[in-house]
Structure 1
């Protein structure tokens, strides 16, 4: 028997296999030889691309090179960059104090886009956020990929914060993957995977919000596919880092 409160979701058609395949791909990518000597460089580039992708999913779309050059002052982009930079420092706190971390993520993401009085404050869904926090806190039973998918979908559905709430949702999902050891160095740019499959991302999130088994299954299938697409992005970045030296 299992005490995993989400275990029944893995019985939905094709979901367990999709998650297994995504995990296998991640494990393979994390053995890329570029990560042995140039892991920091790869992580920095993935963090940048993830932030740009997350902002784009809020319909604040800018060329990656322009953001890298520091010429983009759009507050949503800047917020997504702040969030990306903060994730490593928040990973240990996330499973202990998820509500505190969500508030911090919103402060980072929404500064300059909403009134200061709204930063870190819920505007909706307090009871469901409490339930989500209880699900996250100390949960070592739910497979990390499944837990991250549910965290992400719940926050997208609720949009509990004013302004760029999607940036918070995507960051919380990433924190789940990092804190549970699925992607401990934060190298899988799932945000880019969502952007690469944006129509599916939007559609499956809407399907999840209906609360039907088919809707939840649609989202979980998308999430596994987005992780796989983010893994492909990691391999591309790692290959680019190796290319100048051929090492």
Structure 2
């Protein structure tokens, strides 16, 4: 019998209610606004907003207007390139997470690192961490998909398993989990913008996830629920 690897997290104080509430809010947004025919341009806008926010969190100084005009700096260009191919990786994430994560890094880091390290873990410990994350994604769980996405994000961002661009990879993987697990199949919410809106909390809780033991992980997943609500507020569905 397979043990649910995230059962311990779903039993922590505040986690079930917080994730149920944010999922209800996302479902209401997508149902009330998204069941109308949503054009591909709306998904493209969500991805663009996400690429900009993720790039800023990675150190970009480009504005959303710069990114929209194709005039972003190198980090923003990397984020946009990644976002343009990200959704096509959703089936791969479900079947072969290691392959999907490697491709995400290759897209993000193209031209920034040597070709022979694109998509490859930095060292043996990083390879082990990625295999463990892949196993988690392939193991059945009763945990909410939003919670799975939060753990995937924090695990990649804190472990930094690739030679570069780990923050971009972590946030892209988070969005892809939400798509592949049916939370947001058209990718219309903008979780990256939620993290940017709560940047101080985002950065401190990632440190807590890495260094703070169970308490730090608990704090991260509680924070992430707030960030997803902010990401829903940043959706183009709110402003169309």
Which category describes the TM-score, using the shorter chain as reference length? over 0.9
Inter-partner Cα distance in structure 2 for 1:229 and 1:154: 21
Asked if 2 retains the 8 angstrom alpha-carbon contact of 1:46 and 1:187, the reply is yes
Judge conservation of contact 2:59–2:75 (CA < 8 Å) in 1: no
Aligned to 1:76: 75
Q: How many residues align?
A: 238
Kept in 2, the 8 Å contact 1:52–1:61? The answer is no
After TM superposition, what 4+ stretches of structure 1 lie above 3 angstroms from structure 2?
32-35, 138-142
Displacement after TM superposition at 1:35 (Å)? 5.4
Instruction: Find the residue that maps to 1:188 and give its secondary structure.
Output: coil
Q: Which runs of 5+ in 2 are unaligned?
A: none
Question: For residues 115 and 207 of structure 2, what CA distance do their matches in structure 1 show?
Answer: 30
Distance 1:31 1:39, change over 3 A: farther
Whole-angstrom distance in 2 between the partners of 1:101 and 1:83: 12
Aligned to 1:89: 88
- Deviation by residue 1:178-205 (Cα, 9 ceiling, x = unmatched): 1111111111110000000011000000
Tell me the equivalent position of 1:205.
206
Task: Give, in angstroms, the shift of residue 29 of structure 1.
Answer: 0.8
Give the TM-score, by structure 1 length: 0.91
CA contact (8 A) 1:35 1:238 kept: no
Cα deviation, 1:130-170, whole Å, max 9, x if unaligned, reads: 11111112535432111111111110111011121110011
**Separation (CA, whole Å) in 2 of partners of 1:131 and 1:231:** 30
CA distance in 2: counterparts of 1:197 and 1:95, whole angstroms: 29
State the distance in 1 between where 2:27 and 2:160 align: 32
Listed as ranges, the gaps of 5+ residues in structure 1 are 242-247
2:40 aligned partner: 40
